[in-house]
Amino acid sequence: MRIAKFYSGVIPLISILLVLAITASAFMLRRPVVVVTEPEFNMVYGTFRSIIKQAELSIKYFRRITQIPVTISAGPEIVAAAVDSVSSSPYIVFLPGFFASAANKYLETKPDIPVFILAGRSRAAAVNKQDGPPYYVYTDTQTDLYSAGVCAAYLAGENNGAGTGIMLVQDEILSSALRQIFEDGLRAGGFIGAPRYLENNSDFSIGQTCSCAVIIGSPARFFELNPKLPVILFSWLDPDMTPSNVRIIFDDSLWAAADEVLQVWKDDPTEILGGNPGNQNTFVPSHLTVPWGRGSEGEVFYGKISAKKTVPVIVPVN
């Protein structure tokens, strides 16, 4: 009787351990994703935040996501060797834009490995003109500006007592087409006024007459003059390092871009090539992040502006 009870308890435990062992083995046998970064990246993005994101993506795609820090001054051969030190046949390799020459060098000996260059934010319809891999991934400024407009309209509505305008602070002058996309987002969010466009060297004191600001870049002087104005920030800076009035962050980091690429590549690799192997440019939206405790009345935004008012945050722009 005791033996029967013993085995009735042990057998389920052994079964669970066996399933876990098989799952772990399958996970480790799958080809890994290699993400090359510079050593300073985690200092800005946040070391702990980067570790969490790496683990999150590993679970989401059920394969190892390995980050390799390589100094910017490293030559193409060193970068290629660093990738090989993780795996001789990775599933996908991601490299920052400044390692474009290293990507080409790596492809000389590994032409069948998908290599993606995370080239950052682009304001052009198409940037990379070369025919063939590596694949270039750009942050989709059009979609981000539309989404930022929707978000700004909502935040301005929350902050009506402090002003009636919305300003966009830009590190480079936006084209009229991109301004129109931003204004389309404002209209979709219910804002009917005309936004103000400022450059980094502008007089930011006019922010006192506005209800919300969108910042592409991070001018410290703006925050000094407008410590309470709700801000939407385009940045991959660690949210804990941002001023308290930053309400929404459009995270355009390499982790955000890699996540978008992995999702599309997993579902349909041809989609990321636009259905045409000669088209090597892919545009992906930023990830919406809200610093903890800065949502409306303590609410945390997860793909929505708040639990009270749902608006389109990521909307494709034709």
**Pairwise pLDDT comparison (83 vs 279), residue with the higher score:** 83
CATH topology agreement for domains 31-141+256-283 and 144-253+287-298: yes
**Architecture label for domain 144-253+287-298:** 3-Layer(aba) Sandwich (3.40)
Boundaries of every domain in the chain: 1-30, 31-141+256-283, 144-253+287-298
Q: Is pLDDT of 36 > 90?
A: yes
Report pLDDT for 293: 66
* DSSP string of the chain, one letter each residue: -HHHHHHHHHHHHHHHHHHHHHHHHHHHHSPPEEEEE-TTHHHHH-HHHHHHHHHHHHHHHTS-EEEEE--TT--HHHHHHHHHHH-SS-SEEEEEGGGHHHHHHHHHH-TTS-EEEEEEEE-SS-----SSSSEEEEEEHHHHHHHHHHHHHHHHHHTGGG-SEEEEEESSPPPHHHHHHHHHHHHHTT--SPPEEEETTS-GGGGGGEEEEEEES--HHHHHH-SSS-EEEE--S-GGGS-TTEEEEEE-SHHHHHHHHHHHHHH-HHHHTTT-TT--EEEEPPEEE--TT-SGGG---SSSS-SS----SS----
* CA gap 131, 129 in Å, rounded: 7
Model confidence band, residue 122 (pLDDT cutoffs 50, 70, 90): low
Token output for 90: 């990775």
Token output for 203: 């007089």
Q: What is the pLDDT of residues 139-160, one digit of tens each?
A: 988 889 999 999 998 888 776 5
Report pLDDT for 276: 44
* CA gap 186, 167 in Å, rounded: 11
Report pLDDT for 297: 38
Q: Is pLDDT of 265 > 70?
A: yes
Q: Is pLDDT of 33 > 70?
A: yes
Highest-confidence segment of 229-233, 276-280, 314-318: 229-233
Report pLDDT for 130: 58
Q: Among 1.20.58.760, 3.60.9.10, 3.40.50.2300, 3.20.20.140, what is the CATH number of 31-141+256-283?
A: 3.40.50.2300
Q: What is the pLDDT of residues 161-181, one digit of tens each?
A: 445 689 999 877 788 999 999
Q: Is pLDDT of 257 > 90?
A: yes
Tell me the mean pLDDT in the region 288-297. 68
Contact 174, 123 (CB under 8 A): yes
Q: What is the pLDDT of residues 189-222, one digit of tens each?
A: 888 888 999 887 777 776 667 888 999 977 777 8
Report pLDDT for 110: 93
Contact 286, 252 (CB under 8 A): yes
Q: Is pLDDT of 137 > 60?
A: yes
Contact 200, 171 (CB under 8 A): yes
Q: Is pLDDT of 259 > 90?
A: yes
From 313, 279, 267, select the one nearest 137 (Cα to Cα). Answer: 279
Q: Is pLDDT of 272 > 90?
A: no
Q: Is pLDDT of 262 > 50?
A: yes
